[in-house]
Structure 1
Amino acid sequence: MSDTNAIGLHEASASQLAEQLNALLANYQIFYMNVRGYHWNVKGPNFFELHAKFEEFYTDLLTKIDEVAERILTLGHKPVHAYSDYVELASIREDKNVHDGEACVRGVIKGYQALIELQREILSLASDADDEGTAAQASDYIREQEKTIWMLNAYLG
């Protein structure tokens, strides 16, 4: 019996990566709902631009949620899909009752920082496992999100 999965990765490595990707998935889900909340509830002089920007962010997050879940499946494992699991696994916490534009932007920055930290850990694990698919995905996300943080910090002044 082979110790590799269908895509040629060692099963122990694939299992470890799937576990970390499930934690990432949980964080994406909580962050997604936070950004939806910012979109719905933001108030103030920058309402129109922030409302539109938050929609752009949550639309991208939803795409990435699907991609992370599909990567877990590609590794031969199951993505978690219950919100109770997301709350348990995520380091990002629900951000409730936020409506001030600047506070919402700071919440987005904090969420992306948490995702980048997790994705860097996954990138390292994937590189060690010779998992180019997961490494490339994490690397692409990190690059995009670092630029977003820079832009949001510039927005805040």
Structure 2
Amino acid sequence: MKSKNAIGLDTEKSKLLAEKLNELLANYSIFYQNTRGYHWNIKGEKFFELHVKFEELYNDLILKIDEVAERILTLGHSPQHNYSDYRNISTIKESLQVSDGKKAVEDILESFQTTIILQRELLDISSDADDEGTNALMSDYIREQEKLVWMYSSFLNR
């Protein structure tokens, strides 16, 4: 049995990382589609402000989806790609049509909390596996998203 993958990481630890990254991929994919829905359906006095912010967010999420999938491949595994799988794996649930800006921002904050917690779990696993690539990716995402949580929370006067 081969104990190291192509990038020199333990194969069993890489498998665990890939499984957890697939969970993150599923959450990001549902988060992305929800954000597209907020962008399309937002109404009200904050329309112009939120419409732009939601577009910025879903453009960022699509990049992260690609990076996570490519990291799974780099670890020697296959990324999930079916929305039916995403719906089963993701702890972020699909939003119904949301046109209220406040509700959409609340949902976004909940989604950030979910992904940040998951990314912290990945930090622990990647650290144990000596996987600096996944570790750096998760650290960057967490730093970025914590700032966004502050900004979206400020919008809600929290």
TM-score (norm 1): 0.98
Aligned twin of 2:53: 53
Query: 2:20 aligns to what SS in structure 1?
Result: helix
Question: What CA distance in whole angstroms lies between the structure 2 residues aligned with 1:11 and 1:107?
Answer: 36
Q: State the Cα distance separating 1:129 from its structure 2 match.
A: 0.6
Work out the CA distance in 2 between the residues paired with 1:83 and 1:34.
Answer: 13
Name 1:149's counterpart in structure 2. Answer: 149
Q: Provide the C-alpha distance between the structure 2 equivalents of 1:77 and 1:50, rounded to a whole number of angstroms.
A: 37
In structure 2, the residue matched to 1:11 is: 11
Alpha-carbon deviation of 1:97?
1.6
Q: How does 1:1-157 map to 2 (within 5 A)?
A: 2-157=2-157
Q: Per-residue CA shift, 1:131-152, capped at 9, x if unaligned?
A: 0000000010000000000011
Q: Aligned letter for 1:87?
A: R
Q: How many residue pairs align between the two structures?
A: 157
Give percent identity, aligned residues only. Answer: 60
CA distance in 1, matches of 2:27, 2:104: 17
- Counterparts of 1:84 and 1:101 in 2: how far apart (Å)? 27
Q: CA RMSD in A?
A: 0.7
Work out the CA distance in 1 between the residues paired with 2:29 and 2:129.
26
Distance 1:124 1:145 in 2: 18
Q: 1:155 Cα deviation (Å)?
A: 1.2
Superposed CA offset, 1:74-113 (max 9, x none): 0000000011100011000001121101111111111111
Deviates more, 1:47-56 or 1:104-113: 104-113
Q: What CA distance in whole angstroms lies between the structure 1 residues aligned with 2:84 and 2:103? A: 26
Question: What runs of 5+ residues in structure 1 fail to find an aligned partner?
Answer: none
CA distance in 2, matches of 1:120, 1:127: 11
Structure 2: distance between partners of 1:97 and 1:37: 7
Give 5+ residue unaligned stretches, structure 2.
Answer: none
- Which segments of structure 1 move beyond 6 Å, counting only runs of 4 or more? none
